[in-house]
Protein backbone atom coordinates (compact mmCIF):
# COMPACT_ATOMS: atom_id res chain seq x y z
CA UNK A 1 0.00 0.00 0.00
CA UNK A 2 1.32 3.36 -1.00
CA UNK A 3 0.77 6.07 1.60
CA UNK A 4 0.55 9.67 0.42
CA UNK A 5 4.00 11.29 0.63
CA UNK A 6 4.94 13.69 3.39
CA UNK A 7 7.77 15.30 5.33
CA UNK A 8 10.01 13.21 7.55
CA UNK A 9 9.30 13.86 11.18
CA UNK A 10 11.16 13.69 14.46
CA UNK A 11 11.08 10.55 16.56
CA UNK A 12 8.04 10.55 18.87
CA UNK A 13 6.85 14.07 17.97
CA UNK A 14 6.58 13.38 14.24
CA UNK A 15 5.76 16.62 12.40
CA UNK A 16 4.09 18.28 15.35
CA UNK A 17 6.62 21.11 15.70
CA UNK A 18 6.37 21.90 11.99
CA UNK A 19 2.75 23.00 12.46
CA UNK A 20 3.73 26.25 14.19
CA UNK A 21 1.06 28.64 15.43
CA UNK A 22 -0.82 28.74 12.11
CA UNK A 23 -1.13 25.10 10.99
CA UNK A 24 -3.40 25.93 8.01
CA UNK A 25 -0.59 28.07 6.57
CA UNK A 26 2.31 25.72 7.34
CA UNK A 27 0.45 22.67 5.96
CA UNK A 28 -0.48 24.66 2.89
CA UNK A 29 3.22 25.44 2.31
CA UNK A 30 4.20 21.78 2.84
CA UNK A 31 1.54 20.66 0.34
CA UNK A 32 3.31 22.72 -2.34
CA UNK A 33 6.23 20.33 -1.94
CA UNK A 34 4.52 17.01 -1.17
CA UNK A 35 1.33 17.33 -3.15
CA UNK A 36 -2.41 17.69 -2.59
CA UNK A 37 -2.64 14.47 -0.58
CA UNK A 38 0.01 14.40 2.09
CA UNK A 39 0.80 12.31 5.15
CA UNK A 40 2.01 13.94 8.35
CA UNK A 41 2.48 12.36 11.73
CA UNK A 42 1.12 14.49 14.55
CA UNK A 43 2.52 12.83 17.64
CA UNK A 44 1.44 9.21 17.27
CA UNK A 45 -1.50 10.01 15.00
CA UNK A 46 -1.15 9.52 11.25
CA UNK A 47 -2.98 12.38 9.58
CA UNK A 48 -3.75 12.84 5.90
CA UNK A 49 -4.07 16.39 4.61
CA UNK A 50 -6.12 17.06 1.47
CA UNK A 51 -5.26 20.41 -0.12
CA UNK A 52 -6.86 20.45 -3.58
CA UNK A 53 -10.49 20.59 -4.73
CA UNK A 54 -10.00 17.21 -6.44
CA UNK A 55 -8.76 15.40 -3.32
CA UNK A 56 -11.40 17.14 -1.17
CA UNK A 57 -14.10 15.94 -3.60
CA UNK A 58 -12.75 12.36 -3.52
CA UNK A 59 -12.98 12.34 0.26
CA UNK A 60 -16.14 14.32 0.94
CA UNK A 61 -18.21 13.15 -2.02
CA UNK A 62 -16.91 10.04 -3.79
CA UNK A 63 -15.91 8.20 -0.59
CA UNK A 64 -18.15 9.94 1.89
CA UNK A 65 -19.25 6.60 3.34
CA UNK A 66 -15.72 5.81 4.48
CA UNK A 67 -15.06 9.32 5.80
CA UNK A 68 -18.34 9.96 7.57
CA UNK A 69 -17.04 9.74 11.14
CA UNK A 70 -14.99 12.05 13.27
CA UNK A 71 -12.47 11.55 16.08
CA UNK A 72 -13.72 13.04 19.33
CA UNK A 73 -11.26 15.56 20.87
CA UNK A 74 -10.36 14.88 24.48
CA UNK A 75 -11.75 18.25 25.59
CA UNK A 76 -15.18 17.46 24.10
CA UNK A 77 -15.08 13.97 25.63
CA UNK A 78 -14.69 15.52 29.08
CA UNK A 79 -18.34 16.61 29.27
CA UNK A 80 -20.97 14.25 30.63
CA UNK A 81 -22.52 12.00 27.92
CA UNK A 82 -20.29 13.15 25.03
CA UNK A 83 -21.94 10.49 22.85
CA UNK A 84 -24.94 12.84 22.77
CA UNK A 85 -23.18 15.49 20.62
CA UNK A 86 -23.98 15.93 16.94
CA UNK A 87 -20.64 17.13 15.58
CA UNK A 88 -18.41 14.52 17.24
CA UNK A 89 -20.10 11.18 16.90
CA UNK A 90 -19.71 8.40 14.32
CA UNK A 91 -22.18 8.70 11.44
CA UNK A 92 -24.42 5.91 12.75
CA UNK A 93 -28.21 5.75 13.22
CA UNK A 94 -28.01 8.00 16.30
CA UNK A 95 -26.20 10.71 14.34
CA UNK A 96 -28.73 10.39 11.51
CA UNK A 97 -31.54 10.72 14.00
CA UNK A 98 -30.08 13.92 15.48
CA UNK A 99 -29.38 15.46 12.07
CA UNK A 100 -32.92 14.63 10.96
CA UNK A 101 -34.45 16.29 14.00
CA UNK A 102 -32.26 19.41 13.69
CA UNK A 103 -32.88 19.65 9.95
CA UNK A 104 -36.64 19.16 10.26
CA UNK A 105 -37.23 21.42 13.23
CA UNK A 106 -34.58 24.10 13.11
CA UNK A 107 -33.28 24.55 9.60
CA UNK A 108 -36.09 23.98 7.06
CA UNK A 109 -37.24 27.03 5.10
CA UNK A 110 -40.59 26.74 6.84
CA UNK A 111 -39.19 26.70 10.40
CA UNK A 112 -36.74 29.48 9.56
CA UNK A 113 -39.61 31.57 8.16
CA UNK A 114 -41.62 30.96 11.33
CA UNK A 115 -38.79 32.34 13.45
CA UNK A 116 -38.34 35.47 11.39
CA UNK A 117 -39.78 37.71 14.11
CA UNK A 118 -37.22 36.41 16.66
CA UNK A 119 -34.33 37.23 14.39
CA UNK A 120 -35.79 40.63 13.71
CA UNK A 121 -36.29 41.35 17.43
CA UNK A 122 -32.74 40.26 18.30
CA UNK A 123 -31.28 42.46 15.58
CA UNK A 124 -33.33 45.47 16.79
CA UNK A 125 -31.92 44.93 20.30
CA UNK A 126 -28.42 44.84 18.85
CA UNK A 127 -29.05 48.08 16.93
CA UNK A 128 -30.44 49.79 20.06
CA UNK A 129 -27.27 48.87 21.93
CA UNK A 130 -25.04 50.15 19.13
CA UNK A 131 -27.09 53.38 19.06
CA UNK A 132 -26.17 54.04 22.70
CA UNK A 133 -22.48 53.77 21.77
CA UNK A 134 -23.10 55.96 18.77
CA UNK A 135 -24.64 58.68 20.99
CA UNK A 136 -21.72 58.43 23.40
CA UNK A 137 -19.14 58.32 20.59
CA UNK A 138 -17.62 55.13 22.04
CA UNK A 139 -16.43 52.06 20.11
CA UNK A 140 -18.10 48.64 20.06
CA UNK A 141 -16.53 45.19 19.83
CA UNK A 142 -18.66 44.04 16.96
CA UNK A 143 -17.64 40.34 16.99
CA UNK A 144 -18.56 39.97 20.63
CA UNK A 145 -21.93 41.71 20.11
CA UNK A 146 -22.74 39.45 17.13
CA UNK A 147 -21.75 36.44 19.27
CA UNK A 148 -24.10 37.51 22.10
CA UNK A 149 -26.94 38.22 19.64
CA UNK A 150 -26.52 34.76 18.14
CA UNK A 151 -26.56 33.05 21.53
CA UNK A 152 -29.86 34.75 22.33
CA UNK A 153 -31.27 33.88 18.93
CA UNK A 154 -30.29 30.24 19.44
CA UNK A 155 -31.59 30.16 23.02
CA UNK A 156 -34.95 31.51 21.87
CA UNK A 157 -35.15 28.89 19.13
CA UNK A 158 -34.25 26.17 21.61
CA UNK A 159 -35.69 27.24 24.98
CA UNK A 160 -37.76 30.40 24.32
CA UNK A 161 -35.55 32.44 26.69
CA UNK A 162 -32.66 34.91 26.44
CA UNK A 163 -29.44 33.53 27.91
CA UNK A 164 -27.54 36.81 27.55
CA UNK A 165 -28.85 40.21 28.68
CA UNK A 166 -30.20 41.68 25.42
CA UNK A 167 -28.84 45.07 26.52
CA UNK A 168 -25.39 43.44 26.82
CA UNK A 169 -24.96 44.78 30.39
CA UNK A 170 -25.48 41.87 32.80
CA UNK A 171 -26.04 38.11 32.55
CA UNK A 172 -22.90 37.52 30.54
CA UNK A 173 -22.11 34.24 32.36
CA UNK A 174 -23.57 32.00 29.67
CA UNK A 175 -21.60 33.82 26.99
CA UNK A 176 -18.39 33.59 29.02
CA UNK A 177 -18.85 29.85 29.63
CA UNK A 178 -19.39 29.10 25.94
CA UNK A 179 -16.41 31.33 25.13
CA UNK A 180 -14.22 29.52 27.67
CA UNK A 181 -15.12 26.12 26.21
CA UNK A 182 -14.16 27.36 22.77
CA UNK A 183 -10.87 28.70 24.10
CA UNK A 184 -10.01 25.45 25.87
CA UNK A 185 -11.17 23.21 23.05
CA UNK A 186 -9.14 25.25 20.58
CA UNK A 187 -5.80 24.76 22.38
CA UNK A 188 -3.44 22.12 20.99
CA UNK A 189 -3.80 19.21 23.40
CA UNK A 190 -1.15 16.52 23.85
CA UNK A 191 -3.90 14.02 24.72
CA UNK A 192 -5.17 14.26 21.12
CA UNK A 193 -1.72 13.78 19.61
CA UNK A 194 -0.71 10.97 22.00
CA UNK A 195 -3.95 9.16 22.88
CA UNK A 196 -1.97 6.90 25.20
CA UNK A 197 -1.39 9.92 27.47
CA UNK A 198 -5.07 10.83 27.71
CA UNK A 199 -5.56 9.59 31.23
CA UNK A 200 -2.77 11.86 32.54
CA UNK A 201 -4.33 15.03 31.06
CA UNK A 202 -0.84 16.56 31.12
CA UNK A 203 -1.93 20.12 30.28
CA UNK A 204 -5.02 19.98 32.50
CA UNK A 205 -7.27 20.84 29.51
CA UNK A 206 -9.80 18.15 30.38
CA UNK A 207 -10.05 19.25 34.03
CA UNK A 208 -10.31 22.91 33.13
CA UNK A 209 -12.88 22.65 30.34
CA UNK A 210 -15.02 20.22 32.33
CA UNK A 211 -15.78 22.97 34.87
CA UNK A 212 -17.39 25.12 32.14
CA UNK A 213 -19.22 22.12 30.66
CA UNK A 214 -20.67 21.21 34.07
CA UNK A 215 -21.84 24.78 34.70
CA UNK A 216 -23.59 24.93 31.33
CA UNK A 217 -25.16 21.52 31.91
CA UNK A 218 -26.44 22.89 35.25
CA UNK A 219 -28.03 25.87 33.49
CA UNK A 220 -29.68 23.48 31.00
CA UNK A 221 -30.81 21.23 33.89
CA UNK A 222 -32.63 24.13 35.45
CA UNK A 223 -34.39 25.12 32.21
CA UNK A 224 -35.25 21.51 31.31
CA UNK A 225 -36.39 20.75 34.89
CA UNK A 226 -38.83 23.68 34.85
CA UNK A 227 -40.20 22.59 31.50
CA UNK A 228 -40.66 18.99 32.64
CA UNK A 229 -42.50 20.16 35.75
CA UNK A 230 -44.80 22.30 33.66
CA UNK A 231 -45.42 19.43 31.25
CA UNK A 232 -46.31 17.16 34.16
CA UNK A 233 -48.92 19.65 35.41
CA UNK A 234 -52.24 20.28 33.68
CA UNK A 235 -51.32 23.70 32.32
CA UNK A 236 -50.94 24.29 28.61
CA UNK A 237 -47.22 24.12 28.43
CA UNK A 238 -46.12 23.80 24.83
CA UNK A 239 -43.80 26.56 23.67
CA UNK A 240 -43.35 25.27 20.12
CA UNK A 241 -39.57 25.43 20.52
CA UNK A 242 -36.82 22.87 19.98
CA UNK A 243 -36.87 21.75 23.61
CA UNK A 244 -40.49 20.63 23.17
CA UNK A 245 -39.42 18.57 20.15
CA UNK A 246 -36.51 16.99 22.02
CA UNK A 247 -38.60 16.18 25.11
CA UNK A 248 -41.25 14.59 22.86
CA UNK A 249 -38.50 12.45 21.33
CA UNK A 250 -37.31 11.40 24.81
CA UNK A 251 -40.77 9.98 25.48
CA UNK A 252 -40.91 7.76 22.39
CA UNK A 253 -40.52 4.00 22.91
CA UNK A 254 -36.95 2.84 22.21
CA UNK A 255 -35.77 6.45 21.80
CA UNK A 256 -32.03 7.04 21.92
CA UNK A 257 -32.73 10.50 23.42
CA UNK A 258 -32.87 11.15 27.13
CA UNK A 259 -32.77 14.28 29.26
CA UNK A 260 -29.05 13.59 29.77
CA UNK A 261 -28.13 13.11 26.11
CA UNK A 262 -30.03 16.12 24.76
CA UNK A 263 -27.77 18.50 26.73
CA UNK A 264 -24.58 17.85 24.69
CA UNK A 265 -26.63 18.18 21.49
CA UNK A 266 -28.00 21.56 22.58
CA UNK A 267 -24.54 22.72 23.62
CA UNK A 268 -23.12 21.71 20.23
CA UNK A 269 -25.57 24.05 18.53
CA UNK A 270 -24.58 26.99 20.74
CA UNK A 271 -20.86 26.37 20.28
CA UNK A 272 -20.96 25.66 16.54
CA UNK A 273 -23.27 28.59 15.79
CA UNK A 274 -22.13 31.37 18.12
CA UNK A 275 -18.45 31.52 17.36
CA UNK A 276 -18.78 31.17 13.59
CA UNK A 277 -21.36 34.01 13.47
CA UNK A 278 -19.25 36.30 15.66
CA UNK A 279 -16.12 35.61 13.67
CA UNK A 280 -17.80 36.05 10.24
CA UNK A 281 -19.35 39.39 11.26
CA UNK A 282 -16.11 40.67 12.75
CA UNK A 283 -13.98 39.75 9.71
CA UNK A 284 -16.53 41.21 7.30
CA UNK A 285 -16.48 44.54 9.14
CA UNK A 286 -12.68 44.52 9.36
CA UNK A 287 -12.41 43.95 5.60
CA UNK A 288 -14.97 46.68 4.87
CA UNK A 289 -13.13 49.20 7.02
CA UNK A 290 -9.99 48.41 5.04
CA UNK A 291 -11.88 48.85 1.75
CA UNK A 292 -13.79 52.15 1.95
CA UNK A 293 -15.05 51.68 -1.64
CA UNK A 294 -16.70 48.35 -0.77
CA UNK A 295 -18.21 49.90 2.38
CA UNK A 296 -19.69 52.74 0.33
CA UNK A 297 -21.04 50.34 -2.27
CA UNK A 298 -22.72 48.21 0.41
CA UNK A 299 -24.40 51.23 2.01
CA UNK A 300 -25.49 52.50 -1.39
CA UNK A 301 -27.12 49.16 -2.21
CA UNK A 302 -28.95 49.20 1.13
CA UNK A 303 -30.22 52.72 0.63
CA UNK A 304 -31.49 51.88 -2.85
CA UNK A 305 -33.23 48.65 -1.82
CA UNK A 306 -34.58 49.55 1.64
CA UNK A 307 -35.13 53.29 1.14
CA UNK A 308 -34.08 56.05 3.54
CA UNK A 309 -36.45 55.34 6.49
CA UNK A 310 -36.84 51.59 6.61
CA UNK A 311 -35.58 48.57 8.48
CA UNK A 312 -33.80 45.60 6.98
CA UNK A 313 -35.89 42.39 7.11
CA UNK A 314 -34.71 38.92 6.38
CA UNK A 315 -36.99 38.83 3.34
CA UNK A 316 -34.83 41.65 1.85
CA UNK A 317 -31.67 39.52 1.71
CA UNK A 318 -32.42 38.09 -1.74
CA UNK A 319 -32.50 41.65 -3.08
CA UNK A 320 -29.07 42.50 -1.63
CA UNK A 321 -26.54 40.78 -3.91
CA UNK A 322 -23.62 42.95 -2.81
CA UNK A 323 -24.19 42.26 0.89
CA UNK A 324 -24.35 38.54 0.08
CA UNK A 325 -21.14 38.84 -1.94
CA UNK A 326 -19.43 40.50 1.06
CA UNK A 327 -20.29 37.52 3.26
CA UNK A 328 -19.13 35.03 0.61
CA UNK A 329 -15.85 36.87 0.11
CA UNK A 330 -15.34 37.11 3.89
CA UNK A 331 -15.86 33.36 4.27
CA UNK A 332 -13.44 32.74 1.40
CA UNK A 333 -10.63 34.68 3.06
CA UNK A 334 -11.48 34.01 6.70
CA UNK A 335 -13.03 30.58 7.02
CA UNK A 336 -14.05 30.10 10.65
CA UNK A 337 -13.01 26.41 10.40
CA UNK A 338 -9.92 26.29 8.13
CA UNK A 339 -9.74 22.47 8.28
CA UNK A 340 -13.54 21.99 8.50
CA UNK A 341 -13.92 19.42 11.30
CA UNK A 342 -11.59 16.38 11.32
CA UNK A 343 -12.60 13.06 9.79
CA UNK A 344 -11.44 9.54 10.50
CA UNK A 345 -11.13 6.86 7.80
CA UNK A 346 -13.55 4.00 8.51
CA UNK A 347 -11.81 1.75 5.95
CA UNK A 348 -8.72 1.52 3.75
CA UNK A 349 -9.50 3.83 0.81
CA UNK A 350 -7.69 4.46 -2.50
CA UNK A 351 -7.47 8.15 -3.37
CA UNK A 352 -5.43 9.46 -6.30
CA UNK A 353 -3.26 6.33 -6.46
CA UNK A 354 -2.50 6.36 -2.72
CA UNK A 355 -4.04 4.46 0.18
CA UNK A 356 -5.52 6.19 3.18
CA UNK A 357 -5.41 3.57 5.91
CA UNK A 358 -8.34 2.77 8.14
CA UNK A 359 -8.13 4.77 11.36
CA UNK A 360 -6.09 7.66 9.87
CA UNK A 361 -7.22 11.17 10.67
CA UNK A 362 -8.15 13.22 7.64
CA UNK A 363 -8.09 17.02 7.45
CA UNK A 364 -9.32 19.03 4.48
CA UNK A 365 -7.34 22.26 4.23
CA UNK A 366 -10.31 24.34 3.04
CA UNK A 367 -8.36 27.53 3.83
CA UNK A 368 -5.78 26.56 1.23
CA UNK A 369 -8.45 25.69 -1.40
CA UNK A 370 -10.09 29.07 -1.20
CA UNK A 371 -6.80 30.94 -1.73
CA UNK A 372 -5.35 28.76 -4.46
CA UNK A 373 -4.25 30.98 -7.41
CA UNK A 374 -5.16 28.10 -9.76
CA UNK A 375 -8.82 28.72 -8.99
CA UNK A 376 -8.95 32.32 -7.81
CA UNK A 377 -7.86 35.45 -9.53
CA UNK A 378 -5.86 37.75 -7.20
CA UNK A 379 -6.72 35.37 -4.33
CA UNK A 380 -5.41 37.44 -1.42
CA UNK A 381 -7.44 40.56 -2.19
CA UNK A 382 -10.87 41.25 -0.72
CA UNK A 383 -13.10 41.61 -3.80
CA UNK A 384 -16.79 40.87 -3.18
CA UNK A 385 -17.36 41.65 -6.90
CA UNK A 386 -15.92 38.25 -7.82
CA UNK A 387 -19.15 36.65 -6.57
CA UNK A 388 -21.52 39.04 -8.41
CA UNK A 389 -23.18 37.39 -11.38
CA UNK A 390 -21.50 34.10 -10.49
CA UNK A 391 -23.25 30.87 -9.51
CA UNK A 392 -20.56 30.08 -6.99
CA UNK A 393 -21.98 29.61 -3.50
CA UNK A 394 -21.10 27.88 -0.25
CA UNK A 395 -23.49 24.95 -0.49
CA UNK A 396 -20.72 22.38 -0.91
CA UNK A 397 -20.99 21.87 -4.68
CA UNK A 398 -17.79 23.62 -5.70
CA UNK A 399 -14.85 22.10 -3.89
CA UNK A 400 -12.62 25.16 -4.31
CA UNK A 401 -14.97 26.96 -1.94
CA UNK A 402 -16.34 24.96 1.01
CA UNK A 403 -16.42 27.20 4.12
CA UNK A 404 -19.38 25.12 5.44
CA UNK A 405 -17.85 21.79 4.41
CA UNK A 406 -19.48 19.40 1.96
CA UNK A 407 -21.00 15.94 1.75
CA UNK A 408 -23.06 14.28 4.41
CA UNK A 409 -21.47 16.16 7.30
CA UNK A 410 -21.82 19.59 5.77
CA UNK A 411 -22.81 22.23 8.33
CA UNK A 412 -26.52 21.81 9.09
CA UNK A 413 -26.67 25.44 10.29
CA UNK A 414 -25.88 26.81 6.80
CA UNK A 415 -29.44 28.04 6.01
CA UNK A 416 -29.66 29.83 9.37
CA UNK A 417 -26.15 31.26 9.02
CA UNK A 418 -26.96 32.53 5.51
CA UNK A 419 -30.00 34.42 6.76
CA UNK A 420 -28.66 35.58 10.10
CA UNK A 421 -25.17 36.80 9.20
CA UNK A 422 -26.48 38.60 6.10
CA UNK A 423 -29.23 40.16 8.23
CA UNK A 424 -26.82 41.35 10.95
CA UNK A 425 -24.39 42.72 8.39
CA UNK A 426 -27.07 44.47 6.36
CA UNK A 427 -28.69 45.94 9.49
CA UNK A 428 -25.54 47.36 11.04
CA UNK A 429 -24.39 48.77 7.70
CA UNK A 430 -27.79 50.28 6.95
CA UNK A 431 -28.29 51.89 10.38
CA UNK A 432 -24.76 53.21 10.93
CA UNK A 433 -21.70 54.39 9.14
CA UNK A 434 -18.51 53.10 10.73
CA UNK A 435 -15.03 54.41 11.43
CA UNK A 436 -11.86 53.15 13.03
CA UNK A 437 -10.77 54.59 16.39
CA UNK A 438 -8.18 57.40 16.54
CA UNK A 439 -4.71 56.26 15.43
CA UNK A 440 -5.88 53.19 13.50
CA UNK A 441 -5.97 53.46 9.73
CA UNK A 442 -7.18 51.01 7.05
CA UNK A 443 -3.50 50.37 6.31
CA UNK A 444 -2.39 49.57 9.86
CA UNK A 445 -5.51 47.73 11.08
CA UNK A 446 -4.22 44.50 12.60
CA UNK A 447 -5.59 41.46 10.72
CA UNK A 448 -3.61 38.78 12.59
CA UNK A 449 -5.49 35.52 13.05
CA UNK A 450 -5.55 33.46 16.19
CA UNK A 451 -6.03 29.72 15.83
CA UNK A 452 -8.48 28.14 18.19
CA UNK A 453 -11.59 26.13 17.59
CA UNK A 454 -12.21 28.76 14.92
CA UNK A 455 -9.89 31.18 13.18
CA UNK A 456 -10.56 34.40 15.06
CA UNK A 457 -9.17 37.88 14.82
CA UNK A 458 -6.33 37.97 17.37
CA UNK A 459 -7.13 41.56 18.41
CA UNK A 460 -10.91 42.04 18.66
CA UNK A 461 -12.20 44.61 16.20
CA UNK A 462 -13.27 47.76 18.03
CA UNK A 463 -15.04 50.29 15.80
CA UNK A 464 -17.06 53.48 16.16
CA UNK A 465 -20.66 53.69 14.90
CA UNK A 466 -21.85 56.99 13.41
CA UNK A 467 -25.15 58.37 12.18
CA UNK A 468 -24.86 60.75 9.26
C1 LIG B 1 -20.89 31.37 9.45
C2 LIG B 1 -21.44 30.39 10.07
C3 LIG B 1 -20.97 28.94 10.06
C4 LIG B 1 -19.90 28.35 9.43
C5 LIG B 1 -18.87 29.00 8.52
C6 LIG B 1 -19.92 26.94 9.78
C7 LIG B 1 -19.01 26.01 9.32
C8 LIG B 1 -19.06 24.66 9.62
C9 LIG B 1 -18.12 23.68 9.13
C10 LIG B 1 -16.93 23.96 8.22
C11 LIG B 1 -18.49 22.46 9.62
C12 LIG B 1 -17.79 21.13 9.36
C13 LIG B 1 -18.31 20.53 8.06
C14 LIG B 1 -17.49 19.35 7.58
O15 LIG B 1 -16.72 18.79 8.36
O16 LIG B 1 -17.61 19.00 6.38
C17 LIG B 1 -19.65 22.67 10.44
C18 LIG B 1 -20.30 21.67 11.12
C19 LIG B 1 -21.36 21.89 11.95
N20 LIG B 1 -22.02 23.10 12.15
FE21 LIG B 1 -21.58 24.87 11.30
N22 LIG B 1 -20.99 26.70 10.60
C23 LIG B 1 -21.66 27.89 10.80
C24 LIG B 1 -22.81 28.08 11.53
C25 LIG B 1 -23.47 27.09 12.21
C26 LIG B 1 -24.71 27.26 12.94
C27 LIG B 1 -25.50 28.54 13.00
C28 LIG B 1 -25.01 26.04 13.50
C29 LIG B 1 -26.16 25.64 14.37
C30 LIG B 1 -27.04 26.39 14.87
C31 LIG B 1 -23.97 25.12 13.12
C32 LIG B 1 -23.94 23.80 13.51
C33 LIG B 1 -23.02 22.87 13.05
C34 LIG B 1 -23.01 21.48 13.47
C35 LIG B 1 -23.96 20.82 14.47
C36 LIG B 1 -21.97 20.85 12.77
C37 LIG B 1 -21.56 19.39 12.82
C38 LIG B 1 -22.33 18.60 11.77
C39 LIG B 1 -21.99 17.12 11.76
O40 LIG B 1 -20.87 16.75 12.08
O41 LIG B 1 -22.87 16.34 11.38
N42 LIG B 1 -23.06 25.78 12.33
N43 LIG B 1 -19.98 24.02 10.42
> pLDDT per residue over 286-327, tens digit each?
999 999 999 999 999 999 999 988 899 989 999 999 999 999
Residue 279 lies in a domain: yes
Taking a C-beta distance cutoff of 8 angstroms, is the pair 313, 123 a contact? Answer: no
pLDDT band at 171 (very low <50, low <70, confident <90, very high): low
User: By the 8 A CB rule, do 91 and 438 touch?
Assistant: no
Residue nearest to atom 18 of ligand 1 (CA): 411
Ligand 1 atom nearest to 70, measured from its CA: 40
Q: Does 411 appear as a known binding residue?
A: yes
How sure is the predictor about 43, in pLDDT bands with cuts at 50, 70 and 90?
very high
Q: Does 286 reside within a domain?
A: yes
Residue 320 Cα to ligand 1 middle (Å): 24
> How far apart are alpha carbons 428 and 142 in whole angstroms?
10
- Write out the residue range of the structural domain in which residue 437 sits: 16-466
4-13, 78-87, 287-296, 446-455: which has the minimum mean pLDDT?
Answer: 446-455
* Residue owning the nearest CA to atom 40 of ligand 1: 87
Question: Ligand 1: which residue has its CA nearest to atom 43?
Answer: 411
Ligand 1: which residues within 6 Å by Cβ?
Answer: 86-87, 99, 154, 268-269, 272-273, 276-277, 280, 331, 336-337, 340-341, 403-406, 409-413, 416-417, 421
62 phi, psi to nearest 5 deg: -70, -30
Q: What value does the mean pLDDT of the chain take?
A: 93
Q: How far is the CA of 9 from the centre of ligand 1 (A)?
A: 32
Q: How confident is the model at residue 184 (pLDDT cuts 50, 70, 90)?
A: confident
pLDDT grade for 87, boundaries at 50, 70 and 90 = very high
Q: Which atom of ligand 1 is nearest to the CA of 407?
A: 16
Cα of 413 to ligand 1 centre, how many Å? 6
**Cα–Cα distance between 356 and 4 in angstroms, integer?**
8
- Strand-pairing partners, residue 462, are 141
Atom of ligand 1 nearest to the CA of 154: 30
In the chain, the number of structural domains is 1
Residue 351 in domain? yes
Give 98 Cα–ligand 1 centroid separation in angstroms.
14
> Quick one: how far is CA 179 from the chain centroid?
13
Pocket-testing residue among 327, 330, 413, ligand 1, by greatest number of atoms within 8 A of Cβ: 413
CATH number of domain containing 385: 1.10.630.10
For ligand 1, atom 24, the nearest C-alpha belongs to 273
Q: Kindly give the distance from the C-alpha atom of residue 291 to the centroid of ligand 1, in angstroms, as a whole number.
A: 28
CA-angle at 55, arms to 52 and 61, nearest 5°: 125
Please tell me the distance from the alpha carbon of residue 457 to that of residue 446, in angstroms, as a whole number.
Answer: 9
Give how far Cα 265 sits from Cα of 76, 257, 260, Å: 12, 10, 10
Taking a C-beta distance cutoff of 8 angstroms, is the pair 76, 213 a contact? no
Name the burial class of residue 13, with classes exposed (0-12), middle (13-18) and buried (19+) by CB atoms within 10 angstroms of its CB. Answer: middle
Q: Quick check: is 358 in a domain?
A: yes
9 within domain boundaries: no
Q: Is residue 10 one of the residues assigned to a domain?
A: no
Indicate whether this model's pTM tops 0.90: yes
Which atom of ligand 1 approaches the CA of 366 most closely?
Answer: 10
pLDDT exceeding 70 applies to what percent of the chain? 98
The 3-class SS string of the chain reads CCCCCCCCCECCCECHHHHCCCHHHHHHHHHHHHCCEEEEEECCEEEEEECCHHHHHHHHHHCCCCCCECCCCHHHHCCCCHHHCCCCCCCCHHHHHHHHHHHHHCCCHHHHHHCHHHHHHHHHHHHHHHHHHHHHCCCEEHHHHHHHHHHHHHHHHHCCCCCCCCCCCCCCHHHHHHHHHHHHHHCCCHHHHCHHHHHHCCCCHHHHHHHHHHHHHHHHHHHHHHHHHHHHCCCCCCCCCHHHHHHHHHHCCCCCCCHHHHHHHHHHHHHHHHHHHHHHHHHHHHHHHHCHHHHHHHHHHHHHHHCCCCCCCHHHHHHCHHHHHHHHHHHHHCCCCCCCCCEECCCCEEECCEEECCCCEEEECHHHHCCCCCCCCCCCCCCHHHHCCCCCCCCCCCCCCCCCCCHHHCCCCHHHHHHHHHHHHHHHHHHCEEECCCCCCCCCCCCCEEECCCEEECCCCEEEEECC
Task: State the pLDDT at residue 110.
Answer: 92
Q: What is the position in ligand 1's atom list of the atom closest to the CA of 405?
A: 16
Spell out the residues 6+ positions from residue 181 whose beta carbon is closer than 8 angstroms to its own: 75, 209, 212, 213, 216, 271
Atom of ligand 1 nearest to the CA of 268: 35
Q: Is the pLDDT of residue 76 over 70?
A: yes
Structure confidence at residue 225 (pLDDT): 93
In a domain, 3, yes or no: no
CA 402–ligand 1 middle distance (angstroms): 11
**What is this model's ipTM?**
0.98
Nearest to 14 by CA among 43, 36, 35, 54: 43
The Å distance, Cα 139 to ligand 1 centre, comes to: 30
Residue 326 lies in a domain: yes
| Residue pair 100/94 in contact by the 8 Å Cβ criterion | no
**What integer pLDDT is reported at residue 262 of this predicted model?**
95
Measured in Å, residue 273 CA sits from the centre of ligand 1 at 7
Mutate to test the pocket of ligand 1, among 404, 407, 419, 424 (most ligand atoms within 8 A of CB): 404
Amino acid sequence: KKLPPGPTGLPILGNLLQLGTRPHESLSEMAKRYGPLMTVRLGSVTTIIASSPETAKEILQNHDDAFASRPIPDSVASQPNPEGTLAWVPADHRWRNRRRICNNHLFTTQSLDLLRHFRHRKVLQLLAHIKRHCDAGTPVEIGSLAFGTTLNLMSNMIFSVDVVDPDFMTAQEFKELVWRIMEDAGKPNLSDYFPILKRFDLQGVRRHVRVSYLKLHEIFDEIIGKRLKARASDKITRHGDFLDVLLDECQLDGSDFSVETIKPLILDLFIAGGDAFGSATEWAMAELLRSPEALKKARRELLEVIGPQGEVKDSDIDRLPYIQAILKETLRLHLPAPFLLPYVAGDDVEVGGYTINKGSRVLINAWSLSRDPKYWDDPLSFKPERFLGSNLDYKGRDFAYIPFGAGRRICPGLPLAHRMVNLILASILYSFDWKLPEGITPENLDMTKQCGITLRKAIPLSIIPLIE
